Homo-oligomer: A and B are copies of this chain.
Amino acid sequence: MRAVVGIDFGTESARAIVVDARDGRVLGSGVSAYTHGVIDDRLPSTGTALGAEWALQHPGDWLASLESCVREALAAAAVAGADVIGLGIDFTACTVLPVRADGSPLMLESAFAGEPNAWPKLWKHHASQPQATRVTDVAAARGEAWLPRYGGRISSEWMLPKALQVLEEAPAAFAAADLIVEGGDWVVWQLTGQFARNACAAGYKGLWHKREGYPSDAYLRALHPGLDGFYAGKGGGQAVVAPGARVGSLTASWATRLGLSPATAVGAALIDAHAGVLGSGATTPGALMLILGTSTCHLVIAEHEHLVPGVAGVVEDGIVAGMFAYEAGQAAVGDSFAWFVDMLASADVQAEAARRQVSAHDVLSERAAGLRPGETGLIALDWWNGNRSTLVDAELSGLLVGATLATRPEHIYRALIESTAFGTRVIADALRAGSVPVTRVVAGGGLTRNRLLMQIYADVLGMEIEVAGASQASALGAAMLGAVAAGADAGGYGSIEDAAAAMAPAPTERYQGDSGAHGRYDALYALYCELYDTFGRHSTLMHRLRALR
């Protein structure tokens, strides 16, 4: 029996699973929280205070947790190290750190230990917003062809704004850095001694395109003279490798630390959400993966590249080598349901929840399940945290229409769920209108446990929804990367598609869209789209209202 290891590097901890390479069965797992967690108050080195919106991590935590959780998973699986043929990782992104040419983090040097900009900036570090605004504005002013590929706006979470912040706020650290690298690529580098940028993070967060490369030096100079040559050097330079690539094998030192063979293949890293697509088996063209959580991430694989207005990213080799992966998002999904429960769930809802020892969500979902589509007389626009796709407008806001004195909490709760389903349908329709087929829907994430929500989504979309079978889909996807890196000859696979076909478990559940409900939702969806166009495209009222705050 051959086994592979997958490690999912999250925001607070790393999780490892050891799986059977033949069928993806999980043999053992382990988890290890990062010692320093999210660093958003003071540097642990010097106590230096951090500003608002800062979020850093310690790279030593990643390695310590890696060793700990892999050893725990191997022990639980009772698999011999020699039987592990490959190892893969997924990582939050864009989480980036400045390093020396040998991969040594700048912040480990005494000269830079007290410099916040020398530390790894976690994905949710938003203090680069001023830089992100300029990255967008300069690109828009110059008519840069790559800007529309990202929906016309560059996020503060991405690579270039974060690098520009280092340059502007800590020029000495910027100068001393030979490379600024993704955390996932850095961990693979540590494990193998080889550095490569993974196409997924480079494409979605680093402005890289397989055929057109990176933004030009002319653009970089217009943004900041000190960025001239950035992509030939610190920010690019090395090969960008596709998912499933074998970056190398374990160094002797890491083989010993993990109790594995030095022959163990190590795959290129992948962003955590994208690895979840592999683990969920949604790797065939036309499969739309919904990762339903506080927000929703939509990922779909296609054979061709098209520019879909308002869809924020399309990356060749983004998830499956040789294929294009499209990404879209809804900024507030579970977050808006939680907002409703926290802010507005009435005393009787809370009392019933307490009495029955269930959550307020359960009470509201049960009550709402008895309602027909349209019966509430309500429609909401699901923009409680702006619109990420297809309008790409963070200043839009939530709207509820149709309230009467008979409107009850469960009516609004259902309308909020419906609004997020309509928002997903807008994205699916936009993809199709942009010649990207959507023929299958696979759902993952915590909200798949809400049966009412799943049925509403199936009814609104008028499609079957498969609930992904993997309980740790990202870690399983990472294990697939290890299996492909090892190759078919070693007991692994020749391609991601083959690995996913063999290793992804069957759906735990399938929700069928009801045709009667779908017809009623068609009528409501038409009204939703009217509101969507009115407030999203034709009227600037939400912007003006926000400006009055």
Report A's interface with B, CB cutoff 8 A: 332, 335-336, 339, 342-347, 350, 374-379, 384-385, 397-405, 407-409, 412, 520, 523-524, 527, 530-531, 534-535, 539, 541-542, 544-546, 548-549
Q: Across the interface, which residues of B come within 8 angstroms of A339, CB to CB? A: 405, 407
Shortest beta-carbon distance, A460 to chain B, in Å? Answer: 14
Q: Which of B344, B524, B527 contacts A409 (CB 8 A)?
A: B344
Contact A403 B409 (CB under 8 A): no
Q: Across the interface, which residues of B come within 8 angstroms of A539, CB to CB? A: 530, 534
Shortest beta-carbon distance, A409 to chain B, in Å? Answer: 6
Q: Which of B384, B399, B542 contacts A399 (CB 8 A)?
A: B399
Q: Across the interface, which residues of B come within 8 angstroms of A541, CB to CB? A: 401, 527, 530-531
Q: Across the interface, which residues of B come within 8 angstroms of A374, CB to CB? A: 548-549
Q: Across the interface, which residues of B come within 8 angstroms of A548, CB to CB? A: 374, 377, 520, 523-524, 527
Q: Which of B399, B401, B542, B546 contacts A545 (CB 8 A)?
A: B401
Ordered by A's residue number, 8 sampled pairs between the chains whose C-beta atoms are within 8 Å are: A343-B346, A379-B545, A397-B402, A398-B401, A398-B402, A400-B401, A401-B535, A523-B548
Contact B404 A384 (CB under 8 A): yes
Q: Across the interface, which residues of B come within 8 angstroms of A399, CB to CB? A: 399-403
User: How distant is the Cα of A265 from the Cα of B481 in the complex, in angstroms?
Assistant: 99
User: How distant is the Cα of A385 from the Cα of B378 in the complex, in angstroms?
Assistant: 14
Shortest beta-carbon distance, A382 to chain B, in Å? Answer: 10
Contact A343 B401 (CB under 8 A): no
Shortest beta-carbon distance, A372 to chain B, in Å? Answer: 9
Known: A374-B548, A530-B539. 7 other contacts (CB 8 A): A344-B346, A345-B346, A384-B403, A397-B401, A398-B402, A399-B399, A527-B548
Q: Across the interface, which residues of B come within 8 angstroms of A546, CB to CB? A: 377, 402
User: Contacts A530-B539, A534-B534, A541-B401; is A409 near B549 (CB within 8 Å)?
Assistant: no
Q: Across the interface, which residues of B come within 8 angstroms of A549, CB to CB? A: 374-377
Q: Across the interface, which residues of B come within 8 angstroms of A342, CB to CB? A: 346
Shortest beta-carbon distance, A83 to chain B, in Å? Answer: 47
User: How distant is the Cα of A384 from the Cα of B405 in the complex, in angstroms?
Assistant: 6
User: How distant is the Cα of A535 from the Cα of B400 in the complex, in angstroms?
Assistant: 13
User: How distant is the Cα of A384 from the Cα of B534 in the complex, in angstroms?
Assistant: 22
Q: Across the interface, which residues of B come within 8 angstroms of A343, CB to CB? A: 346, 407-409
Q: Across the interface, which residues of B come within 8 angstroms of A412, CB to CB? A: 344
User: Contacts A344-B346, A346-B343, A399-B400; is A335 near B405 (CB within 8 Å)?
Assistant: yes
User: How distant is the Cα of A350 from the Cα of B349 in the complex, in angstroms?
Assistant: 12
Shortest beta-carbon distance, A134 to chain B, in Å? Answer: 25
Q: Across the interface, which residues of B come within 8 angstroms of A335, CB to CB? A: 405
User: How distant is the Cα of A51 from the Cα of B247 in the complex, in angstroms?
Assistant: 80
Q: Which of B375, B404, B530 contacts A397 (CB 8 A)?
A: B404
Q: Across the interface, which residues of B come within 8 angstroms of A376, CB to CB? A: 549
Q: Across the interface, which residues of B come within 8 angstroms of A404, CB to CB? A: 384-385, 397-398
User: How distant is the Cα of A99 from the Cα of B207 in the complex, in angstroms?
Assistant: 86
User: How distant is the Cα of A457 from the Cα of B402 in the complex, in angstroms?
Assistant: 25
Shortest beta-carbon distance, A387 to chain B, in Å? Answer: 12
User: How distant is the Cα of A385 from the Cα of B407 in the complex, in angstroms?
Assistant: 11
Nearest chain-B residue to A398 (Cβ)? B403
User: How distant is the Cα of A546 from the Cα of B549 in the complex, in angstroms?
Assistant: 32
> Which 8 pairs across A and B sit closest by C-beta, in order of nearness?
A398-B403, A374-B548, A347-B350, A344-B344, A399-B401, A377-B549, A397-B402, A400-B400
